[in-house]
With several copies, the nearest count.
Chain A
Amino acid sequence: MSLADDLYRETILDHYHNPRNNGSIENASATVEGVNPLCGDELTLYLKLTPTGLIEDVKLTAHGCSINTASGSMMSEAILGQSVERAQEIIEDFKTMMLTKEDETVFEDELEELEALRGVKKYPVRIKCALLPWNTLLEGIETARQAQAK
């Protein structure tokens, strides 16, 4: 299996070509922009929380590479409908997977797809591409909570 196959395995390409939750939200609880300083890729994330702290809706507008777009797409599926606490756990797990050398992260069944991104670790420069949506989401959650607290 060539590296190219590895990196662009079907799951990633599927999400790249048909990104889930692509678009925007009118009355979002939070709208945040993320940028990858190394390549300039940008991304806007819209988040809507219920008063009880569930992620009611999430949308992304990205002009990124396949990794970036696919990562955002998979993320949106993984967190939609979850509680903020659970979303933060997933973010934590994902970042551990991407940033730990020999990680032992295991994603449960419905999050299994995320493991497709583990292959990106072979390309250190692109880890940032994969992390961008997740870091933006962290910021979004923070912003939405502050807005709710007011």
Chain B
Amino acid sequence: MSSSVEFDVEKIRRDFPILDRVIEGKRLVYLDNAATSQKPSQVIKAITNYYEQYNANVHRGIHTLSEEATVAYEAVRETVREFIGAEETCEIIFTRNTTEAINLVAYSWGKQNVLPGDEIVLSPMEHHSNLVPWQQLAAEREAKLVYLDLTEDGQINMETAAQLIGPKTRLVAITQMSNVFGTINPVKELAHLAHKNNAIILVDGAQGIPHLKTSVADLECDFYAFSLHKMLGPTGVGILWGKKTLLEAMPPFMFGGDMISSVHRDKTKFNELPWKFEAGTPNVADVIASGVAVDYLNNVGMDNVRAHEIAITRYAIEKLSEIKDIVIYGPLDATKRGGVVSFNINGLHPHDLGQILSDNGVAIRAGHHCCQPLMKDLKVMGTARASFYIYNTLEEVDLLLAALKEAEKVMGHVACR
């Protein structure tokens, strides 16, 4: 699966039409990849090609277009299975996004398995999508949320984790990589702690899979959720992977066409995996294009992706550190984290920073990054966040730095009131 092709960022950039976009007279510098990535023309063309050549509803059609669409749609399951190192194709379930994948587990597995007094263990760096569903489930089930501790530089304190994950734990829900700190979490060790206590572990791979070579078998997790739009794919497609035995024991989540085996007026027999969890007409075009996105990453090679991101993150942290009054969050060692760099410059509100950077063509994110509890822990309203992907260059980091200087000038950089 990994590729021997050399990594050539300029060649990659040519595949991304949006990188030619000019904003306020300046070429776009897109550093908001943790929110969503851009798409190569291969992926865009897959969508066009689908609608121009073989658009049809899948599964039940007997005509040529429907057969072609069904084959192409179902083939993506196998592509994804291989990419994430899962055992069986039927363990790959298409959802809208990571959020829906996690909600599916919370509704279906959660309602069957979480009882009063049980504990659900989270980290304080979870995205709202891997926090609010558990909070609601806990409230409904009279279960308890337990938060792990973090170290100063935004890593999970594994010593206290060994105490916090205990016999009452039913589920550990953890992000593979933080979308604020960039921290890469020790998922496998957490899986061991969970399994030792007869609990299961769900991994939020939304930030992990786009950037790290990932195998669910190696992680030893039980559920894995992610979104294609963060890894070169279109909006509207997420994946839930789960161990077959778990998925088979779970009741369906949504009900309707395609997820049934036979329907009577008063009762229904449900379909087998994976269709049991896919109700109604799926997002056919985007699922097919998602397969092309995975192919693209396979061609680049995930080892190359990671190496490039380490290089660019290291350079960015080094350069940012030179700014007066800057606070950079998360581990500073680029090999311990992904290409997401959150920071605050004292006296400059992230919103203002984000705006002025945008006026200079530089797109970063500013705010709470859907991690409000973490922001409260950090005692900030939000942070500025630059995040990198395969098409970003060191030169773009320089442009970020130049734009930050400009922002300081515009705002008349003064110490925080």
The chain A residues found within 8 Å of chain B, CB to CB, are 2-5, 7-8, 13, 16-17, 19, 35, 37-42, 63-68, 123-126, 129
Asked if A8 meets B411 with Cβ closer than 8 Å, knowing A39-B351, A40-B372, A123-B355, the reply is: yes
Determine the chain A residues whose CB is within 8 A of the CB of B99 once the complex forms.
none
Partner of A126, one of B355, B375, B411: B355
Q: Is B61 interfacial (CB 8 A cutoff)?
A: yes
Q: How far is the CB of B142 from chain A (nearest CB, A)?
A: 28
Question: Residue B366 at the A interface, CB < 8 A?
Answer: yes
Contact B62 A125 (CB under 8 A): yes
Residues from chain B with Cβ under 8 Å of A126 in the complex: 62, 351, 355
**Would A39 and B359 count as touching, CB distance under 8 A?**
no
- B358 → chain A closest CB, angstroms: 9
Tell me whether A8 and B271 are in contact in the complex, defined as CB-CB below 8 angstroms, given that A38-B59, A39-B366, A124-B70 are known contacts.
no
Please encode chain B, from 341 to 358, with 1 for each CB lying within 8 Å of some chain A CB and 0 for all others. Answer: 000000001111001100
B67 touches A41 (CB 8 A): no
- Across the interface, which residues of B come within 8 angstroms of A67, CB to CB? 351-352
With A63-B381, A64-B349 already in contact, 4 other A-B pairs whose C-beta atoms are closer than 8 Å: A3-B359, A8-B356, A39-B366, A39-B381
Q: Are A41 and B406 in contact (CB under 8 A)?
A: no
Determine the chain A residues whose CB is within 8 A of the CB of B406 once the complex forms. 4
- Among A5, A19, A125, residue most surrounded by chain B Cβ atoms (within 10 Å): A125
Contacts A40-B375, A41-B381; A4 near B71 (Cβ below 8 A):
no
Cβ contact of B382, chosen from A2, A39, A125, A129, cutoff 8 A:
A39
Q: What would 20 A/B residue contacts be, using CB atoms closer than 8 Å?
A: A2-B359, A4-B356, A16-B411, A17-B412, A17-B414, A17-B417, A35-B261, A39-B367, A39-B381, A40-B262, A40-B372, A41-B382, A42-B381, A63-B381, A66-B351, A66-B352, A67-B351, A124-B67, A125-B70, A129-B351
Which residue among B351, B381, B417 has the maximum number of chain A CB atoms within 10 Å of its CB?
B351
User: With A3-B359, A13-B412, A124-B71 given, is the CB distance from A65 to B261 under 8 Å?
Assistant: no
B66 at the interface (CB under 8 A from A): yes
Chain B, residues 307-348, CB within 8 Å of chain A (1/0): the string is 000000000000000000000000000000000000000000
What's the least CB distance linking B353 to chain A, in Å?
9
A37 touching B351 by the CB < 8 A rule?
A: no
Residue of B nearest to A6 (CB): B359
Instruction: Give Cα distance in the complex from A65 to B353, angstroms.
Output: 9
Q: How far, in angstroms, from A124 to B382 measured CA to CA in the complex?
A: 19
Q: Is the CB of B381 within 8 A of A4?
A: no
Complex Cα–Cα for A42 and B71 (A):
24
CA distance A4 to B412 in the complex (A): 12
CB distance from B371 to the nearest CB of A (A): 10
Residue in B67, B349, B406 whose Cβ sees the most chain A Cβ within 10 Å: B349
In the bound assembly, the distance between CA atoms of A40 and B24 in angstroms comes to 28
Residues of B within 8 A of A2 (CB): 24, 359
**A38–B372 Cα gap in the complex (Å)?**
11
Report yes or no: A7 in contact with B355, Cβ–Cβ below 8 A: yes
Q: Using an 8 Å CB-CB cutoff, how does the interface string of B367-389 with A read, 1 for contact, 0 for none?
A: 11000100100000110000000
- Interchain CB contact under 8 A, A65 and B70: no
Instruction: For A41, list chain B residues within 8 Å (CB).
Output: 351, 381-382
As a 0/1 sequence over residues 203 to 242 of chain B, the CB contacts with chain A under 8 angstroms (1 = contact) are 0000000000000000000000000000000000000000
Q: Measured between alpha carbons, how far is A32 from B182 in the docked complex, in Å?
A: 36
Q: Quick one: which of B24, B360, B367, B411 contacts A38, CB cutoff 8 A? A: B367
CB-defined interface of B112-150 with A at 8 Å, one 1/0 digit per residue? Answer: 000000000000000000000000000000000000000
CB–CB A65/B352 < 8 A: yes
Find the B residue at minimum CB distance from A122: B67
Q: In the complex, which residues of chain A have a beta carbon less than 8 angstroms from the beta carbon of B417? A: 17, 19
Pairwise interchain contact A3-B382, C-beta atoms closer than 8 A = no
Q: Which residue of B lies closest to A17 (CB)?
A: B414
B60 within 8 A of A: yes
B247 to chain A, nearest CB (A): 17
5 smallest CB-CB distances across A and B, nearest first, come from A65-B351, A65-B349, A40-B368, A37-B261, A39-B367
Complex Cα distance A37/B372, Å? 10
Chain A nearest CB from B241 CB (Å) reads 23
